[in-house]
Each structure stands twice: as C-alpha cells, then as structure tokens.
Chains A and B, each alone.
Chain A
Amino acid sequence: MGIDVVSRPPADVPQGDAVASEARDDHALAAARDDAWPGASAEKRFLRYGMMPHMLCPGCGHGIVLDAMLRALARRYETLDDVAFVAGIGCSSRVVGYVDACTLHTTHGRPLTFATGLKLARPDLEVVVVTGDGDGLSIGGNHLIHAARRNIDLTCVLFNNEIYGMTGGQLAPTTIPGAYTSTSPKGNHEQPFDAARLVEAAGATFVARAQSFRTRDFEEIFLRALEHEGFSFVEVMTDCTEYFGRTNRLGNGADLLFSQARADVAIEADLAGRPTLQEVPARPVRPVMEMGVIHESRRQTLEEAMGLVEARS
C-alpha cells in the first residue's frame, strides 16, 4: 500500500496514513522526495502525495495507465498549472485526485459536461477527461456522443475494465457476453458497446484504443491525443482483478494483463512464448479487438467555430 504506485521513497520519509492525516505534509514529502531523488522523473513530480495512500486494488491496471499519462504529459509540459483533469465517479475517475494539477472530480457520468464548460471558458487550458466504462458509456453515454459531435478540443481517456468496480462488481455496458458479475449471476446476455467505434461514428476526430498491457504504446497514443486539435478519445483496456478477474476466475493481475495481449490483433504474432490466460471452459475470453489509432481526421473544432480561438489550418 502507500505510495508504492510510483516507487518506494527513502525510509525517513513518512508514509501511509501519517501522510494523509497531516494537512500540509504532502508538499514536504514531495520536497523531501525531490531532494532524495535528484533525478526523479517529471511524472513523479506530477503526483499529489498528500492524497496517498491511493484506493486502487492490488493488480488494478489504473495506476499503470495513470503513470503512462503522466509520462506523456511530462514530455509536453514543465508544470501542470494549465492542465485540468476532469473526472466523473468510479475507480478510474478517482485517479485524477492523485495528479498535482487543477483537478475536478465531478458527478457520475457528467465529467464531459463540466469539461465542456471549462474548455469554453478557458480555451487556453489543456483539459483532460478521465472516465470509466460505466461513467462514460452508461450513465454518461449521451454526453460522450455529444462531445464527439461537437469536436470540442478535449482529450478523453476512457478506462475500460468491463465492470463497475467501485460499487462492487456489477454489470457494465462493456462487460463481454457470458461474463459473470454480481448483477449477471448467470452470465451477461447483453452485447457490449464498442466504445471506439461509437465515438468515431458520433464525430470524434481522434479515436484510439490501447491497453494497460502495452503501456509505452498507450503513452505514445495519449501524447498524440493531447496534440490532436479536436475531440480525442482513447479507450484503454485495464483490468479489475478484484471483481472481474476473481468472479470469472481469470487469474491474477498478471494473467489479466496477458489476456489483454491475447485480445490484441496487432500483436498476435508476438505471443509465442508468453504465458497464456488460464482457459476455463465456459468462461468468457476477451474478443479480439483493434488496437492503436483507429481514426484520425481534421475538422473545425467547437472553439474555432465559436470564434474563441484562432482557426488553425
């Protein structure tokens, strides 16, 4: 537990609850860390240590995704003063609290609405939306397609773990057919959304799908999404070991990561020699999905159309 999500700090730096309970010790801790690690990478400086210990479960892929996002941001920004993270409700949405930026933890399903208002109020800010599959595709599905239609210059990362983690493992609109959840005790009989294709059809001008398994690929894709002018959508496959993994007996965090690899058409050839997902008859196996940048085009953004920013070429 504690701040293991990045790496272990020196022993004289307070950890865990002692950190969280002291009003300002997070900054002291960050300073101590920077002193202790002169070469500490930029993304570590972007973490908000006062919010630690984090609430992610062992084996959860969300920390891997956040780490890659911070690496990409570090390649683009010296500080996060002008970067706003906007998130909804759910495990994925909680990660914005761990970023030392302007962070807005909104209501369930509605981060894109807050982000729309913020971006139109301050078009100069980099606004990154973090949402989950329940938050972004179920309760907030309407806002997702409208943000895509408007082509507002937001970067939306949808953490897809195929289940409602925070509420205890219920069925999501992304749960694969046959999968068991606490509200699909006989297996899911609904077809899941293909989020990337949905958002592309709605008008997004940058659409990609990536994996927590291939974190460097995700980092590159997220950086391109940040650079893209217009609505950028990145669906990132990440695993819920505690609910999805256990309920469906898919093994531990590592097993689930490799199951992502198995489901990636782009890297199928790569798989020889890697451990395979434990195969249990009648248990769901991830379908093969396209990974990488699925769609990229240029169209007038909402801010350009409204005259809030100079029209770019």
Chain B
Amino acid sequence: MSERQLIQGNEACARAALAAGCTFFGGYPISPSSEIAELLARELPARGGVFIQMEDELASMGAVLGASLGGRRAMTATSGPGFTLMQEHLGYASLAEIPCVVVDVMRGGPSTGLPTSPAQGDVMQARWGSHGDRATVAVAPGDVQEVYTLTIEAFRLAETLRTPVAVLYDEVIGHMREGVVLHEPTSEELGRRSGPRGPFSPDFLPYEPDEKGVARVPDFGRGYRFHVTGLMHDERGYPTSDHTKVEQLLARLERKVDAAVDAVAPELYRLEDAKIVVVAYGIVARTARAAVDALRAEGVPAGLLRTRLLWPIPAAALTDVIGRADLVVVAEMNRGQWAFEVERLAGRHVQLAPYLRAGGSVITAEELVGHVLRVSTKGARV
C-alpha cells in the first residue's frame, strides 16, 4: 500500500504495529489510546495474531512480556495512569531484556487529570518511572505519518536491542487525521532479535552479550532451557549479588541503548545561522516550525531542533546546536521536563527561556513568536 490515506494517529500506530510484524497485543482500555486496541482487536486475530484485553495495566504488561518470551513481537498501548501501572514491568523488561513496545498517548496529569486533552507530561515518567537506574528508549513522533514510521522503528529498536521502547505522543496527534503513506517496511527496517549462537549445550549462556552488548536470550520452547529473572543475574541468568557483575550488567544495559541515538536523529530546521533555537517535539514542534518561519519573516535568526528521540537524550546534536545559540527556548506541554535536560546540557553563555504549558491546550505559533520576541529583546544578542 503506497497511496496516501487519511487516517488518525492512533490508527497509524496500529497499522504500523501490523506492518512491523506485531502479533500480540495485551491491553486495557484508556482514553485517549483506546482506538489502537480497538483496531488491533479486529485485525490481529484475522492475521493469526493474538489480541487480549487484560484485567488491568499490570496484567497487560505481564502478558506482553510473556508473549514476547514466547517469540512474538508484542505491544500494548495506554495513557498516563496506565503507563504508571506498567512501570514495574517496564523495569522488569529492561533488566530481563525482553523486547516490547509500549505506546503512551499522553493526556493531562497528574492523576486522572485531563483524560481527553493533550499533554507531554510523561516524558520523565518514561525515563525514571520505574525504580532503580534503568536505561530507556522513548521516541516522540511529530505527526501522523511519523507515528507510523516511528512505531515501526520502535519495534526494530525493541527487537534488536532487546529492551522496552516507549512511543510517546499526545492526544491531539492520537486523534488527528492526516494523509499518510503506509509503506511496507524492508527487512532492515524490521530488524531481528539477537539470539543464541548455536544449539543448546551445557555451556549455553542466555545472558552472554553479543557484539552490540545485547543478551542472546532465545525464545521459550525452542529447545533451550534457561532461567529468566528480575533479580540481578549473571550470564547464566542465575541470580547474583556479586557487586562487580551487577555494575557490569547495569553499565551494559545503559550502553546498549545508545544505538538509538544514531538511529533516530533529530530534525534540524533553519538552524544553519540560527542564534535563537527553539527545541520541541511532538505536536509542539509543528507550531514551533510555524513560529520559526514567522520569526524568520521578521528577520529574526530563529531555527528549530525537533527531537524525535526523547531517551536516550541526543546529547551530541543538542550540545552542538545549543553551543552556537544565544537563546534557547524549549517549548513543551508540561511544567518543564525536557527543558531541565536541555538546561543540564547548555553552557553558561546561553540564555534559556523555556515556554511551558500544562493546562491541556496546544502551544500556538503566535504565543511562541510573542514569547521569543519578548525574551530576545530583553537581552539576547539578536
């Protein structure tokens, strides 16, 4: 299918999952993500896949991980409150190296919050929501087409890195309809799970890393007998409290996800000579692009860094762009989550003036232009 179709963001996500070879969905209804489950409830069984509505989000994530160990490409979809309930199992998946994709269609929070209004409040939850130091991967599509391509990429990253990958977008992108080309992914775009080197033998080490630092865990029921645990483990998969082994394991899990940084590069828009850099992602990046155009029309040297990857943070690209800027405006729909990360990476010479919004409405281009002009005339060298 290569012709353009007018579809909703959540539908694009479900179509991408099918194109990426997802054959298992375990989920629990929650606005504004439910269309993903509804579409997959129709489509998966017809294609030999499995759809199951579980009793809650803890169970959804458990079922997804069980299915993944059974060899399926598995996913779930949720929103903030459900994402919170999934955090323990996301930590489990990170440590036990079980691939899965979790879509979080973000709504206003905390708590039940604003169930049908957009927000970007789960950025830090995606990073630090589960206890302990967990390396995470989270992508942030900026339009419906990108929901499709980045969901496919999320599956590739999850499978090749054997780690949970979160797809974070807000309610507006989830429910917005746009023309989308649903291309069939190539085998490179699909990727493959790392697996054991040879048949089962007494020397088999399921958690021995491959050259990319990814464990060689086979699927269950393929002739390999091995142990999977949420305890710290050695290469046999057996529990260990050996401090050196635990440090090495945590370091490897952190290192391996760096591959996502090269795979999901940021979009650099009109940044060549930009002294004012707007940093945005998701729905806000669309209005930020319009704001940059408007500022350029006024002769203001503005540009946009639109990240498509929230975690791990694309630090090199950010520091490079920020290093050449006088003013950096992180625009996001929360109280300043990625803004803190950008602040951490920015040098002292840079003026930082984030534009934040958590009330449930999208930041407009006009507001952003007004903000940039106000801040820049107050002191930045423009």
Interface residues of A (CB under 8 A from B): 23-24, 27-28, 31, 48, 50-51, 80-82, 84, 86, 97, 100-107, 110, 112-122, 124-125, 142-143, 146, 306-308
Contacts and interface: CB of A to CB of B under 8 A. Distances in A.
Interface of B: 24, 26, 45, 50, 52, 54-56, 58-72, 74, 88-89, 92, 202-203, 205, 220-221, 223-231, 234-236, 238-239
B69 to A, nearest CB: 6
A77 to B, nearest CB: 12
Most chain A beta-carbon neighbours within 10 Å: one of B54, B71, B221, B231: B221
Nearest to B58: A110
Q: Is the interface of A mostly helix, strand, loop or mixed?
A: mixed
B72 A121 contact: yes
A105 B45 contact: no
B45 A307 contact: yes
Contacts of A119: 66
Contacts of A86: 66
B165 to A, nearest CB: 17
Contacts of A24: 202-203, 236
A145 B62 CA distance: 16
Contacts of A112: 62
B225 A81 contact: yes
Given A143-B59, A143-B62, 10 more contacts: A102-B224, A113-B58, A113-B61, A115-B66, A117-B69, A121-B50, A121-B72, A125-B220, A125-B221, A307-B45
B63 A120 contact: yes
A307 to B, nearest CB: 7
10 contacts: A27-B202, A50-B236, A51-B238, A102-B226, A107-B88, A117-B63, A117-B66, A121-B70, A146-B55, A307-B45
Contacts, number: 140
Contacts of B62: 106-107, 110, 112-114, 116-117, 143
A307 B47 CA distance: 12
Given A23-B234, A116-B66, A121-B24, A103 B227 contact: yes
Nearest to A55: B239
Contact of A122 (B70, B227, B238, B239): B70
B226 A114 contact: no
A51 B59 CA distance: 29
B56 A117 contact: no
A99 to B, nearest CB: 9
Nearest to A122: B70
B124 to A, nearest CB: 22
Contacts of A28: 202
A306 to B, nearest CB: 7
Contacts of B234: 23
A48 B225 CA distance: 10
A175 B228 CA distance: 31
A121 B223 contact: no
B70 A118 contact: yes
B104 to A, nearest CB: 19
Contacts of A27: 202-203
A251 to B, nearest CB: 32
A102 B221 contact: yes
B52 to A, nearest CB: 6
Nearest to B200: A81
Nearest to B63: A117
Contacts of A82: 221
B358 to A, nearest CB: 31
A103 B237 CA distance: 10
A112 B63 CA distance: 8
Contacts of A115: 66
A97 to B, nearest CB: 6
Contacts of B89: 107, 110
B50 A97 contact: no
